[in-house]
Amino acid sequence: MSKNIGIDLGTTHSLVAAVLDGKARVLLDEHGEALVPSAVRFEGGSEDDGAFAVGRPALSRAHLANGVTFTSFKRFMGRAPSEVAEEAKAFGYELVEGDDRVIRFRHGELEFTPVELSAMILRELWQQAGEVLLTRPGGVVITVPAYFDDAQRQATRDAARLANLEVLRLLNEPTAAAIAYGLQQGADGQRVAVYDLGGGTFDISILELSEGVFQVLSTAGDTQLGGDDFDQALARVLQASLGLGELSGIEWRMLVRAAEAAKRRLTDADQTTIEIEHGGAVHQVPISRAQFDQLVAPIVERTADSVKRALSDAELSAADIDEVVLVGGSTRVPYVRAFVQQLFGGKAPHVDIDPDQVVAIGASMQADILSGASQLTDDLLLLDILPLSLGIETMGGVVERIIPRVSTIPATASQTFTTHVDGQTAVDIHVVQGEREMVRDNRSLGRFRLTGIPAMPAGIPRIKVEFTVDADGILSVSATEKSTGVAARIKVEPSYGLSDDEIEQMLEDAIDHAEDDFDERLLIEARVEAEGVKKALERAIADDAGLLEGDEGDRFQAVLAELSAAMDGKDRQRISALTKKLDETSAAFAQRRIERDLALALEGRDADDVGKALGID
Amino acid sequence: MICWRCREKVEGPLCVSCGALQPPPAAPDHFDVLGLDRAWSVERQEIDAAWRARSRLVHPDRFAAKSAVERRMSLQWTAAINSARRALRDPVRRGWYLATGRDRPADEPGGSLDPDFLEQIFELQLEAQGDPQGVAAQASAMRDAVMGELDARLQAWEQGDRTAPPTGVTELLDRMKYLDNLAQPGA
Which tens digit of pLDDT belongs to each residue from A311-361? 999 999 999 999 899 998 899 999 999 999 999 988 888 888 899 999 999
Q: Residue B39 to residues A156, B46, B91, B104, B174: CA-CA distances in angstroms?
A: 44, 12, 11, 17, 21
Count of the separate structural domains present in chain B = 2
Which tens digit of pLDDT belongs to each residue from A303-320? 999 999 999 999 999 999
Same domain? B83 vs B7: yes
Same domain? B119 vs B84: no
In a domain, B94, yes or no: no
pLDDT at A499 over 80: no
In a domain, B108, yes or no: no
DSSP annotation of A22 reads: T
Same domain? B71 vs B150: no
Which tens digit of pLDDT belongs to each residue from A125-134? 999 998 888 8
In a domain, B107, yes or no: no
In a domain, B95, yes or no: no
In degrees, rounded to 5, the angle at the alpha carbon of residue A551 between the alpha carbons of residues A545 and A557 is 70
CA distance A254 to chain B (A): 45
- The reply to whether B28 touches chain A by the CB within 8 Å rule is no
Instruction: Report the pLDDT value the prediction gives residue A326, as an integer from 0 to 100.
Output: 93
Lowest mean pLDDT, pick from A392-406, A562-576, B42-56, B101-115: B101-115
User: Do B64 and A213 make contact, defined as CB atoms within 8 angstroms?
Assistant: no
Catalytic hit among A196, A222, A323, A472: A196
Same domain? B78 vs B11: yes
Cβ contacts of B66 on chain A, cutoff 8 Å = 372
A601 pLDDT band, cuts 50/70/90, is low
**Cα–Cα distance measured from residue A303 to residue A277, given in angstroms and rounded to the nearest whole number:** 34
Same domain? B120 vs B39: no
> Mapping DSSP to helix (H, G, I), strand (E, B) and coil, where does residue A220 land?
strand
Instruction: Report the pLDDT value the prediction gives residue A135, as an integer from 0 to 100.
Output: 82
Q: Residue A281: beta bridge partners?
A: A278
A617 pLDDT band, cuts 50/70/90, is very low
Same domain? B55 vs B134: no
Lowest mean pLDDT, pick from A231-235, A507-511, A541-545, B24-28: A507-511
Instruction: Report the pLDDT value the prediction gives residue B87, as an integer from 0 to 100.
Output: 92
Cβ contacts of B76 on chain A, cutoff 8 Å = 412
Domains of chain A (ranges plus CATH)? 5-225+296-383 (3.30.420.40), 227-295 (3.90.640.10), 390-501 (2.60.34.10), 514-614 (1.20.1270.10)
Which tens digit of pLDDT belongs to each residue from B97-124? 988 888 877 655 556 677 888 888 888 7
- Count CA within 13 A, CB hemisphere, residue A617: 0
CA distance A144 to chain B (A): 17
CB neighbourhood size of B102 (10 A): 10
Instruction: Report the pLDDT value the prediction gives residue A613, as an integer from 0 to 100.
Output: 47
Least CB–CB distance from A410: residue in B62, B79, B106: B79
**Cα–Cα distance measured from residue A18 to residue A137, given in angstroms and rounded to the nearest whole number:** 9
Same domain? B57 vs B1: yes
pLDDT at A614 over 50: no
Catalytic hit among A29, A87, A158, A173: A173
User: Do B65 and A370 make contact, defined as CB atoms within 8 angstroms?
Assistant: yes
Which residues span the domain enclosing B137?
115-183
Cβ contacts of B61 on chain A, cutoff 8 Å = 169, 366, 369-370, 381-382, 471
- Which of A374, A412, A468, A482 is best to mutate for the B interface (most B CBs within 10 A)? A412
Q: Residue B162 to residues A35, B153, B156: CA-CA distances in angstroms?
A: 62, 12, 10
User: Do B60 and A471 make contact, defined as CB atoms within 8 angstroms?
Assistant: yes
Chain A residues bordering chain B (beta-carbon distance below 8 Å): 139, 168-169, 210-213, 215, 366, 369-373, 381-383, 400-401, 404, 407-413, 468, 470-471
> Mapping DSSP to helix (H, G, I), strand (E, B) and coil, where does residue A454 land?
coil
Same domain? B67 vs B124: no
Mean pLDDT of A457-472: 87
In a domain, B21, yes or no: yes
Least CB–CB distance from B52: residue in A210, A407, A410: A210
- The reply to whether B79 touches chain A by the CB within 8 Å rule is yes
A372 or B56: which leads in pLDDT: B56
Least CB–CB distance from A410: residue in B52, B65, B78: B78
Which of B24, B55, B89 is the endpoint of a domain? Answer: B89
In a domain, B8, yes or no: yes
**Residue A74 falls in the annotated catalytic set:** yes
- The reply to whether B26 touches chain A by the CB within 8 Å rule is no
Same domain? B3 vs B67: yes
Instruction: Report the pLDDT value the prediction gives residue A615, as an integer from 0 to 100.
Output: 45
Same domain? B29 vs B82: yes
User: Do B65 and A411 make contact, defined as CB atoms within 8 angstroms?
Assistant: no
- pLDDT lower than 70: segments of chain B: 106-112, 130, 185-187
Could you tell me how many CB contacts below 8 A there are between chain A and chain B? 63
Instruction: Report the pLDDT value the prediction gives residue A441, as an integer from 0 to 100.
Output: 87
- The reply to whether B60 touches chain A by the CB within 8 Å rule is yes
Cβ contacts of A383 on chain B, cutoff 8 Å = 55, 59
Torsion, Cα A566 A571 A577 A581, to 10 degrees, reads: 0
**Cα–Cα distance measured from residue A198 to residue A181, given in angstroms and rounded to the nearest whole number:** 18
Lowest mean pLDDT, pick from A200-214, A560-574, A594-608, B47-61: A594-608
Query: Which residues between 94 and 113 in chain B have a beta carbon less than 8 angstroms from any beta carbon of chain A?
Result: 106-107
User: Do A371 and B56 make contact, defined as CB atoms within 8 angstroms?
Assistant: no
Which of B89, B106, B137 is the endpoint of a domain? Answer: B89
Instruction: Report the pLDDT value the prediction gives residue B187, as an integer from 0 to 100.
Output: 42
Same domain? B5 vs B81: yes
**Residue of chain A whose alpha carbon sits nearest to that of B79:** A411
User: Do A407 and B78 make contact, defined as CB atoms within 8 angstroms?
Assistant: no
DSSP annotation of A3 reads: P
A264 or A247: which leads in pLDDT: A264
In a domain, B59, yes or no: yes
Residue of A1, A53, A50, A56 lying closest to A28 (CA atoms): A56
Which tens digit of pLDDT belongs to each residue from A93-121? 888 888 888 899 988 888 889 999 999 99
Pairing of strands A39-42, A52-54: antiparallel
User: Do A471 and B106 make contact, defined as CB atoms within 8 angstroms?
Assistant: no
Share of chain A above pLDDT 70, in %: 92
In a domain, B101, yes or no: no
Three-state SS sequence of B96-157: HHHHHCCCCCCCCCCCCCCHHHHHHHHHHHHHHCCCHHHHHHHHHHHHHHHHHHHHHHHHHH
Same domain? B28 vs B72: yes
CATH number at residue B45: 1.10.287.110
Cβ contacts of A468 on chain B, cutoff 8 Å = 75, 79
**Residue A158 falls in the annotated catalytic set:** no
User: Do A411 and B55 make contact, defined as CB atoms within 8 angstroms?
Assistant: no
Which tens digit of pLDDT belongs to each residue from A3-57? 999 999 999 899 999 999 888 999 998 888 999 999 999 887 676 666 788 999 8
